[in-house]
Amino acid sequence: MINEFAKTHNLKKYQVDQFNIGYYKTLISSFDELSTWSKQLREDLKKELLFSKLTVEKTETSNDGSTTKVLFKTGKNNYIESVLMRDKSRNTVCVSCMSGCPVGCIFCATGQMGLNEILDEQEILDQILYFARELKKENSSITNIVYMGMGEPMLNLENVAQSIEAITDTDKLAFSKRRVTLSTSGYVQNLRAFLGKNLGVKVAISLHAPNQKLRDILMPNVSKNNTLIDLFEVLDGYVKDTNKRITYEYVLIKGVNDSISDAKELVELLKGRLALVNLINYNENGCFEFKKSDNTLLFQDILLKNGINCTIRKSYGGDIKGACGQLSVNYIQC
């Protein structure tokens, strides 16, 4: 974050290192705490750079204490949400890469907002650093980071990739690549470019349908120009090169994509592929008439019996609208 500042102030490498240690490792809570720097340099830093480009507007914690959702405001007065989910020894942070989302999948509350703003690298990092600082107060730390909040990462490719580089950089957050997962609705060309960067993070694809026709209905803006055939060409190539498994997210919506025949079709689609299906029961969100499926266990059973790895995603923070697909800022009237 201090590249420009380092240039204009002719900082030495050791001073940049001191900054990185304070900001990313000690997790200082203001530039005043950067005690390794002179007072003068700290004052200049405060004048020229914001400690965080995001400001906290509101925090909400679920009744069971497992989930905290934070509403942040950007410098352009747009809102984003980020979520911390605690489960035993895991602390997973779900970050947004946009305020709203331009893709408009017909079941997703974030898509209903449209796009307000894409976030830059710093704004993505600010969300992660916020939770890292909060957890540090409890002598704890983030264990997993998921790019599964508001927005479509492949439509904000450079900022997302730079933020991943910063969190995994050993001089900065030094976070393990294997504990970072990025979810995308599947913009094929950008996905190819992203995978080509070899950032080493896990990739999840929002599939949600076992065939092109149903996917076109559920995710029309992405699906029609990024067909399953093209998507699998990129993914199969990636798996062949890296031997890394792809996660396929499948949101189960009652009467829409949760029948026995849908499950069987999904088996056929993924047979022979290195895949994990992560079923997400639909989180009702007040925006749409769609309902939760009653078929989750049966659907999983069909996949497992036919040799497809399949897990069911635990839902967090439903009571504070912090679960998958519920992130939408409340001024949107659903």
Sorted by sequence, the CB contacts under 8 Å of residue 80 that are 6+ apart come out as 54, 71, 72, 74, 96, 98, 99, 119, 123, 127, 149, 150, 329
By CB under 6 A, tell whether 99 contacts ligand SF4.
Answer: no
Beta carbon nearer to ligand SAH, 81 or 120? 81
Residues 224-253 that bind ligand SAH (CB under 6 A): 249, 251
Neighbours of 3 (CB within 10 A): 9
* Shortest separation between residue 100's beta carbon and ligand SF4, angstroms: 8
By CB under 6 A, tell whether 111 contacts ligand SF4.
Answer: yes
Among the listed residues 71, 84, 105, 128, the single contact to ligand SF4 using CB under 6 A? 105
Size of the site for ligand SF4 (CB under 6 A): 10
Tell me the C-alpha to C-alpha distance, in Å, between residue 149 and each of 98, 120, 283, 286, 328. Answer: 8, 15, 14, 18, 10
Tell me the C-alpha to C-alpha distance, in Å, between residue 181 and each of 19, 132, 144, 220, 246. Answer: 27, 17, 8, 24, 10
By CB under 6 A, tell whether 112 contacts ligand SAH.
Answer: no
Tell me if residue 334 is catalytic.
no
Sorted by sequence, the CB contacts under 8 Å of residue 120 that are 6+ apart come out as 53, 159
Spatial distance between the Cα atoms of 199 and 197, rounded to a whole number of angstroms: 6
Tell me if residue 4 is catalytic.
no
Catalytic entry in 97, 105, 310, 324: 324
Considering just the CA atoms, what is the radius of gyration of the chain in Å? 21
Among the listed residues 20, 68, 82, 283, the single contact to ligand SAH using CB under 6 A? 283
Beta carbon nearer to ligand SAH, 134 or 152? 152
Spatial distance between the Cα atoms of 113 and 102, rounded to a whole number of angstroms: 8
Among the listed residues 24, 131, 175, 282, the single contact to ligand SAH using CB under 6 A? 282
Closest CA to 311 of 248, 243, 228: 248
- In this chain, which stretch among 59-67, 107-115, 231-239, 307-315 interacts with ligand SF4, using CB under 6 A? 107-115
* Shortest separation between residue 288's beta carbon and ligand SAH, angstroms: 8
Residues 178-217 that bind ligand SF4 (CB under 6 A): 185, 206
Which string of x and - marks every residue 128-157 that binds ligand SF4 (by CB under 6 A)? ------------------------x-----
Task: Locate all alpha helices (DSSP H) within 28-120, ordered by sequence.
Answer: 39-48, 109-112
**With contact defined as beta carbons under 8 Å apart, do 253 and 279 qualify?**
no
The one-letter code for the residue type at 171 is D
Which string of x and - marks every residue 84-103 that binds ligand SAH (by CB under 6 A)? -----------------x--
Instruction: Give the catalytic positions in this structure.
Output: 81, 324
Interface ranges with ligand SAH (CB under 6 A): 101, 107-108, 148, 152, 183-185, 206, 249, 251, 280, 282-283, 285, 324-325
Interface ranges with ligand SF4 (CB under 6 A): 101, 103-105, 108, 110-111, 152, 185, 206
